[in-house]
């Protein structure tokens, strides 16, 4: 790609957030990361805070980060996993509560330091948040505070169904009020669609795009076998994700 020749144009990163937890941020993060690496961009994943981490071989691992690594084929070098996953907790709860129970809260300055170290070795990072933008990381800071500190362009992942207009527009307003650049919104189906709700799901992206003055980057269909090794996952992702160019231009 001509824009990647010479001095790298992509020098920072992208932050993938959601209107809620369980919204499909991981598959969107993995899909974007996979596509960027296939374009020849040395992009790497980062999951600053993982709750509900899994213990394996005596250490806590992030299912979300592992999914992204498997999807992209990237193999971290020595010490890079700790930079990609600075905070991991077993309890599946809010980061502030997990941090309180562990006696070690997530700190946004430490996360930024890890991101900067990754960028010393790689072209860009794709960061996946935890939950929505107002999720507390500790007793005084939220995920939004981290996003402001990193100041990466933001991709918002939302649902198709009833209630998503309010959640998505509130998220957009909070992000803009904090001075963040919103690349666009990806709508993701995390369950099979109901025929009786089709008219709602068809209208929601359009009204959000209009009222929120934001591009729709993709409309992703429900995928039953959500396995990073399943080629059908990425075929469907790349069919539904029409905003790759906007991602590349903003990262």
Residue with tokens 């396995």: 227
Are the beta carbons of 11 and 124 closer than 8 angstroms?
Answer: yes
* pLDDT at residue 172, rounded to an integer: 98
* pLDDT at residue 251, rounded to an integer: 81
- Given the residues 47, 56, 75, 236, the one annotated as active site: 47
Residue 139 exposure: Cα atoms within 13 Å on the Cβ side: 4
Residue 31: CB partners within 8 Å, gap ≥ 6? 71, 234, 237, 238, 241
- The structure's pTM equals 0.93
Tell me what percent of the chain is helix, strand and coil, each rounded to the nearest 5.
Answer: 45, 20, 35
Domains present along the chain, CATH in parentheses: 2-250 (3.40.50.300)
Residue 188 host element (H or E): strand 182-188
* pLDDT at residue 198, rounded to an integer: 87
pLDDT digits over 179-226, tens only?
999 999 999 998 888 888 889 889 999 999 999 999 999 999 998 888
Residue 34: CB partners within 8 Å, gap ≥ 6? 71, 72, 73, 234
112 is an active site residue: no
Residue 176: CB partners within 8 Å, gap ≥ 6? 182
Are the beta carbons of 216 and 205 closer than 8 angstroms?
Answer: yes
Distance of alpha carbon 150 from alpha carbon 146, whole angstroms: 6
Q: How many CB atoms lie within 10 A of CB 199?
A: 9
What are the E-state strand segments in 19-108? Answer: 43-46, 49-51, 54-56, 59-61, 87-89
* pLDDT at residue 5, rounded to an integer: 41
Sites in the chain below the pLDDT cut of 50: 1-11
Residue with tokens 């590349």: 248
Q: What pairing do the DSSP bridges indicate for beta strands 49-51 and 87-89? A: parallel
């Amino acid at each position: 790609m001509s824009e990647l020749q010479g001095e790298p144009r992509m020098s920072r990163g992208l932050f993938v957030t959601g209107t809620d937890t369980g919204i499909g941020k991981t598959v969107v993060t993995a899909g974007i990361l996979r596509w960027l690496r296939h374009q020849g961009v040395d992009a790497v994943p980062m999951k600053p805070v993982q709750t509900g981490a899994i213990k394996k071989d005596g250490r806590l691992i992030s299912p979300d980060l592992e999914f992204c690594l498997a999807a992209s084929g990237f193999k971290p070098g020595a010490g890079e996993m700790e930079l990609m996953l600075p905070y991991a907790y077993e309890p599946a709860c809010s980061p502030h509560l997990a941090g309180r129970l562990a006696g070690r809260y997530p700190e946004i300055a430490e996360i930024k330091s890890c991101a900067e170290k990754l960028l010393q070795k790689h072209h860009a990072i794709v960061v996946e948040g935890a939950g929505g933008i107002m999720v507390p990381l500790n007793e005084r800071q939220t995920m939004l505070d981290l996003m402001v500190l990193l100041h990466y362009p933001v991709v918002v992942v939302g649902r198709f169904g009833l209630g998503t207009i309010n959640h998505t527009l509130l998220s957009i307003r909070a992000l803009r009020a904090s001075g963040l650049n919103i690349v666009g919104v990806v709508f993701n189906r995390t369950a099979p669609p109901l025929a009786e709700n089709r008219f709602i799901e068809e209208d929601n992206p359009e009204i959000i795009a209009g009222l929120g003055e934001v591009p729709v980057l993709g409309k992703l269909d429900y995928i039953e076998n959500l396995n990073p090794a399943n080629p059908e996952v990425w075929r469907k992702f790349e069919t539904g994700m029409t905003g790759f160019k906007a991602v590349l231009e903003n990262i």
